[in-house]
Structure 1
Amino acid sequence: LSSLGALAYLVVIALSLGAFPCVPTVWRVPPKKDVNMTGTGDTNGSDSRAERVNRVLLLVVIASMATFSSYLMLLMYGVIHEICPWCLTSAVCCFSMFVIAVCTRLVPQYTKMVTIVLSTMLVIALGAWGVYQVQRHQERVALGLHGPSTDDAMALAEHLRDEGVTMYGSHYCGHCLEQKEEFGKDAFKVIDYVECAPDQKDSQSKKCQDKGLTGLPAWEIDGKILYGDRSLSELARLTKFILPSQRAGQIQQQRDEKPAAAAAPAAAA
């Protein structure tokens, strides 16, 4: 992350000083009186094409840095809960450059400048959100692989294996991960699981294609395909299995009913 930040600052410096042979310096901003604020034209002294490209590139880089700095500040205060002096300094620099770029009308056409800034900020924000979702998914995968299994999960997994029930899923499927977490590490090892993602070592994607699956996760029970993640109780009901917790509840209910049944004749007498 530090390397990317340093690279971004170097790009800003290079663009500002016109370091690229084909691109002149950008800080030769025309006076305000020469700027057409209607967004319908350029300044009285038209810039060269290379300089206009340079201005747009610089504005895009600065807007990207300001947007990503906002995302990092959100993580620092909302997730990490620790102060990073260098991060704060970098954020101040990014926001300052962004204000300067906007106030000095780096891109002469006002409408074009707003469009570029908003589009850039949106793309960076969506990219940051995507990275966060990927990291969150990876953390959940690790949790699913190490989560404990209940007695119900172990008993049901063994029953599903004996009944020839198969689960089809994928490592990048969120609902598939939730289904795995429902069973836990030990119980899920017992399940007959078919990995449909072609990029995995244990992939059986051809088998998934032959089944004509239209969604994941999918359960094959008695030759029928059922889509969606299922609770343990629902899978038990579909395969006519009584979970240990349900069996214990039935036994307790029968014990409670016996005294009531014995008391009924005595009350009638």
Structure 2
Amino acid sequence: MIRRRSTPWIHKWSRTLIAAIAGCGALITGYLTIEKLTGGSAACVVEAGAKGCNDVLSSPWATVFGQPLALFGFLAYISMVILALAPLVFNSGENNSRKQLENLTWWLLLVGAIAMSVFSGYLMYVLASQIKAICPYCIGSALFSVSLLVLTIMGRTWEDIGQIFFTALIVGMVTLIGTLGVYAGVNKSDVISETPGQPAKITFNSKGDPNPAFGWEVTTTSGEAEIALASHLAKIGAKEYSAYWCPHCHEQKMIFGKEAEEIINKDVKVECAPEGLNAQTELCKTAKIEGFPTWIVNGKSYSGVQNLEELAKVSGYTGPRNFKYFK
């Protein structure tokens, strides 16, 4: 009597495990997408003055093609959930059709897992060497991607192992080249898009290491309205909590312009980075600041870069409003 070989447990549960892990990844990236789109602050406990999740979300790497990077991660994880569950949900009853669907979805799962793992590896490099922040969400997402790759390879019996390595090589190279192409402009200079008769749009791309004394150089100039608003904010006791290394803090400076920023820097700004000039880390801890920049105006908190029209409105400013720049 010939005993039938039992199916390894990982082969039985691999699709379910893949769907569960991808579902967790979708929850994380979905949450970050909402926070990014609404201008909120992600829940992330870090030591005052240290870079955290919100600094990652405000970095140039957090936006791709004008949309939050987390949104693309969310779509990738949802795709993995669908591919993992498709043969389990759409059971036609025909062995050939089911087998074809299983084979197709396994190859697509393999391609997706390889691409996600390579891209996550690049982001971990950026997180450690460029942004220099601690982001549990980012690290968790990277671990999810690697776990999906391991489960995809071990979750079934592959007839041709060599084809897996060939696929990994091709997909990995394409993903890496595409990633480098997408982020090729991150280290370029500031972009000021001007339309005649309209305020100019500011887009900041970090270039070089920031100086602890002032961050990056402010290259825009202030008009009468910017200087008047800055003076008004100083007069009413408004505060801007920031860190010299924060790209979005510099973007806020660029919107004000050099002359107005001198007023902000003297009477409004609170430096939260311990190594920054005139750092006031204890004040930042007391204010429970979670991300930079954070404005406190008339007792209310406003997270992220603020357009001057909005600051004028919430601060009760009544002076000229012909502001030169906007986000």
Q: Same fold (TM over 0.5)?
A: no
The structure with more radius of gyration: 1
Task: Answer 1 or 2: higher relative contact order, Cα 8 Å, separation at least 6.
Answer: 2
